[in-house]
Amino acid sequence: MSLKSYLPLAILAPAAVVASLSGIVSAVGRPAPPSSTQSFGMVRLEGEVREVFGNKVIVEGPAGRTLVETGPEGRVRAPLAPGDKVVVDGMQRDGFVHASAIAKAGGPRIELGRGPDAGPGERPGGRRGADAAYRADTVIQAVTTAGFRDARVIDVKKHHAEVAAVAADGRSYELHVEFDGRIRKQEDTTLVRDEGAIKTLIEKAGFTYAGQMRPEKKHMVVSATNSRGEKVELDVHRDGSIRKERRVF
């Protein structure tokens, strides 16, 4: 699968950058899996930065090249340049590794999602709704105040941040938090983080788990064998539904 299959052109606007997409594809080649242990989407990459495209960088390690999304906070707090030796922790999702921490060789480990204090006019009492400025500390504080723990920002959209967190009962959630700290959506993601639960689910549906799964934004892609002995991939969604079955040849 080439970079074109998972790198939305909207990310690469303006047109001058879109025009250079073919060069990016050539530079990346076929994306390789992360160069170290992966567990339910969490990975650690160790390697050298080869290319930088705004909030995204290509890290080359022992297993090949991987596209990493550092986010707007990472671009400011942990700026990278070609040739930098780095260790990146993050979640593999949507065809990228979304960085949650970055460390350059010989430097400190920069945790993303817990930025410095906001400046004047950017705290919860300042600008509101769509006019508020993104501040990681405001978002994390809102989630913590709502009773969640282990909160971390996994993506930043135009008007809200997506945050992974754990509720008081131990269940995992993804929350959409507006930049002024208001939580507008929360979705239980416990199932797609539990390999045993997914295995039980698909086997009740008549499939045999093949021992591999990979995360997508809203579901888990699970390797399995159907009742006819065919190798398939299943899209298992957060609500426990199996919405697609694809043959694998």
User: Could you read off the pLDDT of 51-109 as tens digits, one per residue?
Assistant: 988 888 999 998 889 999 887 778 778 889 999 999 998 887 767 788 888 999 888 88
| Contact assessment for residue 56 and residue 96, using Cβ atoms and an 8 Å cutoff | yes
Residue type, 110: I
Give the pLDDT score at 22: 43
Closest CA to 216 of 30, 91, 118, 105: 91
- Rounded Cα gap, residues 78 and 109, in angstroms: 9
Q: Name the one residue in this structure whose structure tokens are 């790198």.
A: 7
Rg (CA), the chain: 19
**Is the confidence at residue 231, as pLDDT, over 90?**
yes
- At 107-136, the pLDDT tens digits run 888 887 643 333 333 333 444 444 467 788
- At 7-28, the pLDDT tens digits run 443 444 444 444 443 444 344 4
Give the pLDDT score at 94: 67
Q: Is the pTM of this model over 0.85?
A: no
Give the pLDDT score at 27: 41
The tokens describing 208, both together, are 């045999």
- Architecture of the domain defined by 129-188: Roll (3.10)
Q: How far apart are the first and last CA of the chain?
A: 15
Domain boundaries, given as residue ranges, for the chain:
3-111, 129-188, 192-247
- Rounded Cα gap, residues 3 and 24, in angstroms: 8
- Rounded Cα gap, residues 45 and 172, in angstroms: 24
- Rounded Cα gap, residues 132 and 159, in angstroms: 8
**Is the confidence at residue 41, as pLDDT, over 60?**
no
> In what side-by-side order are the strands of the sheet with 242-247?
208-215, 219-225, 231-237, 242-247
Fold: same for 3-111 and 129-188: no
Closest CA to 215 of 186, 236, 242, 188: 236
Give the pLDDT score at 44: 87
- Rounded Cα gap, residues 160 and 156, in angstroms: 6
| Contact assessment for residue 207 and residue 226, using Cβ atoms and an 8 Å cutoff | yes
Domain over 3-111 is classified CATH 2.40.50.140: yes
- Rounded Cα gap, residues 115 and 140, in angstroms: 9
Q: Which residues contact 226 (CB under 8 A, 6 or more apart)?
A: 206, 207, 232, 245
**Which has more pLDDT, 244 or 39?**
244
Helix (H, G, I), strand (E, B) or coil at 36: coil
- At 157-173, the pLDDT tens digits run 888 888 989 999 888 88
| Contact assessment for residue 202 and residue 222, using Cβ atoms and an 8 Å cutoff | yes
